[in-house]
Amino acid sequence: MIPAARIQATIEILEEVASGGPADGVASGYFRGRRYIGSSDRSTIAESVYAILRRRARLDWWINLVLERSPDSPPPPPRHRMIANLILDENWSEARFTTEFNGDSYRPAALSRAERQLLLNLSGQSLDDSRQPEWVQSEMPDWFLQRFKSQYPEADATARASLNHPAAMDLRVNRLRGDRERALAEIKAIGVSAAATELSPLGIRVGGRPALARYPLFQSGLVEIQDEGSQLIALLTEAVGGMKLLDYCAGAGGKTLALAAEMGNRGRIIASDISAKRLDRASQRLKRAGVHNVELRALTADNAKWFKRQASSFDRVLVDAPCSGSGTWRRNPDMKWKFSPVEIAELRQRQGDILRDAARFVKPGGGRLIYSTCSLLPEENDQIIEAFLVEHPGAFRQVSVASIWPRAVATAMPSGVGMSMQLSPHLHGTDGFFCAVLERCGDAIVV
């Protein structure tokens, strides 16, 4: 592709993202529908898309300033962001815009009057400016910045910036297929740099973004792509062979795979989700990993009677609750602008409902309910647990994650682990995962 065609493709993807689609899904769909785009061009386009999403606040600040738009105005169009980025980051000249933006041969259309004003007023400027508010410089919504500063008062600008840096690629070694030493050797044999993770005893962090799916170590199921923090959730579940386990919000099965490996394919796992389509995507992953103790059951009316019969029968129930995903905004920078305190309040209600529903399935007298999110917000994490325990006096007790860690994880315990676990990108280099463990007491009734 010519450079201008890559720019036009970037604009088209950004426009679809602005319409509400998740960036990773939009980009994947865009490339699937255009098989003629080579791997090098796909990589370049994707990098451009994510670079602009990571700079959205600063780009918008400049666009609003030079076009004399109110900060409360609707977000500027993605094409304006693309043009502003080319000026501020790559120092494009008027002559270059005239050559590349002319509407011919898959090139972007010629600049409008407002876009020429952007070019005139932004030329010679830099992306960062001392006049920018703190939330703009931090590339996060102001409401979230205030919560983050309250939770982590020691976090400086560098720490906040880590939430906007691209995340590393982590792998989990599948115990059913081999061990970490073998996986490390196979990864290094294909010329990819790799090192064992510090927190997860099963984790490997690789350099760059290698296309591992084409290599035998991935095709054989020896490794799965999974953030180090997510791997720890499965370990803290303390699932062992012979147990009956319910993965209540299994999605595409990432944690289900890890749990099955911990159980050595012995016992029974029910992977459930409200989306049958998401569960379908887990089938191929389970087969590749050599997992055969998992049953997929959608949380639909067709399965309502079956689930009703399973009350109080599971040794472990894992609730990986839907959340803001604020702990994964490094990977999904578009998502940070799709939430507000109103949406967070709605999520809290949903999280509480899901936790209450899942609690019905926990076996009395020692069964455990594990609640996790990929959020950094206390209102989606500890506060949900506190409210649940108040609602269920005497039925559940919270088990200290710090007491579980030495036997379940057996690595050096990091900061952020106590009664619950809260990881964050700036402190641990992982996504921002939360985990709390609750144990059902005696024969207390759960309604």
Q: What is the mean pLDDT of residues 17-28?
A: 91
Q: What is the mean pLDDT of residues 26-40?
A: 92
Distances (CA, A) of 190 to 69, 211, 221: 52, 11, 16
* Span 169-225 CATH architecture: 2-Layer Sandwich (3.30)
Q: Is the pLDDT of residue 13 over 80?
A: yes
- Residue 427 confidence (pLDDT): 95
Judge whether 374 counts as a catalytic residue: yes
Q: Is the pLDDT of residue 211 over 90?
A: no
**Exposure string over 189-208, b if 16+ CB within 10 A, otherwise e:** eeebebebbebbbbbbbbee
CB 274 within 8 A of CB 299: yes
Domains 169-225 and 228-440 share a fold: no
Other beta carbons within 10 Å of 383: 14
38-85 pLDDT, tens digit each? 989 999 999 999 999 999 999 999 999 999 998 888 999 999 999 999
361-379 pLDDT, tens digit each? 999 999 999 999 999 999 9
- Residue 447 confidence (pLDDT): 60
398-413 pLDDT, tens digit each? 999 999 999 999 999 9
264-319 pLDDT, tens digit each? 999 999 999 998 888 988 988 999 999 999 999 999 999 999 999 999 999 999 99
Residue type, 295: E
CATH topology of domain 228-440: Rossmann fold (3.40.50)
Report how far Cα 227 is from the mean position of its chain's Cα atoms: 9
- Residue 20 confidence (pLDDT): 87
Distance between CA atoms of 243 and 265, rounded to whole angstroms?
10
CB 236 within 8 A of CB 414: no
Q: Which of 323, 374, 435, 441 is catalytic?
A: 374
CB 435 within 8 A of CB 331: no
Q: Is the pLDDT of residue 14 over 90?
A: yes
Distance between CA atoms of 234 and 115, rounded to whole angstroms?
50
Other beta carbons within 10 Å of 214: 9
- Residue 195 confidence (pLDDT): 97
Q: Is the pLDDT of residue 344 over 70?
A: yes
- pLDDT bracket for residue 155 (50, 70, 90): confident
Report CA torsion sign: 427, 429, 432, 437: negative
Q: What does the domain layout of the chain look like in residue ranges?
A: 3-129, 169-225, 228-440
Residues 6+ apart with CB under 8 A from 388: 352, 355, 356, 359, 371, 396, 438
CB 143 within 8 A of CB 341: yes
Q: What is the mean pLDDT of residues 421-439?
A: 97
Mean pLDDT taken over the chain: 94
Q: What would the two tokens of residue 159 be?
A: 């720490």
- pLDDT bracket for residue 148 (50, 70, 90): very high
Other beta carbons within 10 Å of 355: 23
Tell me which H or E stretch contains 295.
Answer: strand 294-298
- Residue 281 confidence (pLDDT): 86
63: nearest Cα among 51, 80, 44, 79: 80
